[in-house]
Amino acid sequence: MQAMKNKFKALMLEQEDGELMAEIRQLSLQDLPAQGVLVRVHYSSLNYKDALAITGKGKVVRSFPMIPGIDLAGVIVEPAGSQFKVGDEVVSTGWGAGEEHWGGLGQYAKLDADWPLPVPDGMDMRSTMVMGTAGLTAAFCTLAIQDHGIRPQDGPVLVSGAGGGVGSVSIVLLARLGYEVHAISGREDLHPYLHKLGAAEVRHRNEFSRESKPLEKASWAAAVDTVGGDTLATLLAQVRPDGIVAACGNAGGMQLHTTVFPFILRGVTLQGISSVYAAMTRRERAWKLIAENIPTDFYAYLTDHEISLNEVVKTSDELLNGRIQGRVIVNMLD
């Protein structure tokens, strides 16, 4: 009976002869790393990076076998000398989980004691996974715009990849803070969703995913770019003097074909946003921004799917093919 209690389900990635295999397996607690805080995972989430890892369409995983999942929220089972107590509810994002270390798509996980944070006041475990790495990244982008000194009265802010997790949360946060937000999307069916999130206007992605001129009409006080490639180059050419582009994605391409003109003639700042190894003080500030500015009813609206572990592989394909809006939550208790 005790042996059965030590069993749990996890999605395991293996590589054999260059081919990726993803399957649900039953593991024991003894299979987990020897060191770390033991967490019973209640929820995880499915991010773009997770989908790349699970489908093998991106070189995300550094070693095999691997339990993917860069996010998790759960309850402390063994504190292992950390500051936590048994039963504490925690959230963890990034830190190489699902890439270098076994991640959140297993019903139990072992984490370095410095990785988890207490679930923020005003949130629960599920809502932290509605946010996850995508929400945290959106909060970092929003803070970058604020810290740059851009105020709502300085002009509209543009958000690319608006239907995705980072884009969706960025729209909500910026709109709640008083900014006039314009969204970029290639799907007309998403317009009602994006307006509900707070977008004042929705622009078609074809306006931006093109070869840009060195400088174009200065239209935006700031921008959040989740796409990269030609879209990022166009945004840089259109941002107003002393504006900022917070860039965090490359779904539209890794190459950036631009000139120095936006930087030396308009003083535009291009700030890269990465959340994987962000300092704890930055994380705490970002979670506070989320907790104080995302209305409770928006968590349901931001979540397109809540799925079980058995549905993760199929949903990963749908996510990469652009058939998902908002966030995908994985219920690990199911």
DSSP string, 16-76: ETTEEEEEEEEEEGGGS-SSSEEEEEEEEEE-HHHHHHHHTSS----SSSB---SEEEEEE
Q: Tens digits of per-residue pLDDT, 70-103?
A: 999 999 999 998 899 999 999 999 999 999 999 9
Residue 236 has pLDDT above 70, yes or no: yes
5 has a pLDDT exceeding 70: no
Give the rounded percent of residues in the chain with a pLDDT score beyond 70.
98
pLDDT exceeds cutoff 50 at 122: yes
Q: What is the pLDDT of residue 305?
A: 83
* Residue 186 near residue 215, CB atoms below 8 Å: no
Q: Which DSSP symbol is given to 156?
A: -
Domains, the chain, in order of start with CATH, read 2-119+298-331 (3.90.180.10), 133-272 (3.40.50.720)
pLDDT value for 223 = 98
- List pLDDT tens digits, range 168-225: 999 999 999 999 999 999 989 899 999 999 999 999 999 999 999 999 999 999 999 9
| Cβ atoms of residues 117 and 91 within 8 Å | yes
The residue behind tokens 């993917």 is: 68
| SS3 (DSSP) at 268 | coil
Q: Is the pTM of this model over 0.85?
A: yes
Confidence of residue 1 (pLDDT cuts 50, 70, 90): very low
Q: Which residues lie closer than 8 Å to 17 by C-beta, 6 or more apart? A: none
Helix, strand or coil for residue 184? Answer: strand
Q: Are strands 7-16 and 37-46 parallel, antiparallel or unpaired?
A: unpaired
pLDDT on residue 2 = 43
**CA of 279: how far to CAs of 79, 119, 166, 170, in Å?**
22, 17, 19, 20
Q: List b or e across 197-222, with b for residues whose CB sees 16 or more CB atoms inside 10 angstroms.
A: bbbeebbebeebbeebeeeeebbbbb
Counting Cβ atoms within 10 Å, is residue 79 exposed (0-12), middle (13-18) or buried (19+)?
Answer: middle
- pLDDT tens string 12-68: 999 887 789 999 999 999 999 988 999 999 999 998 899 999 999 888 898 999 999
Give the sign of the dihedral formed by CA 153, CA 299, CA 297, CA 123.
negative
Phi/psi class of residue 155: alpha, beta or left (left: φ > 0; alpha: ψ in -120 to 50)?
Answer: left
- How far is CA 170 from each of CA 1, 9, 32, 160, 225, rounded to the nearest angstrom? 48, 33, 35, 10, 10
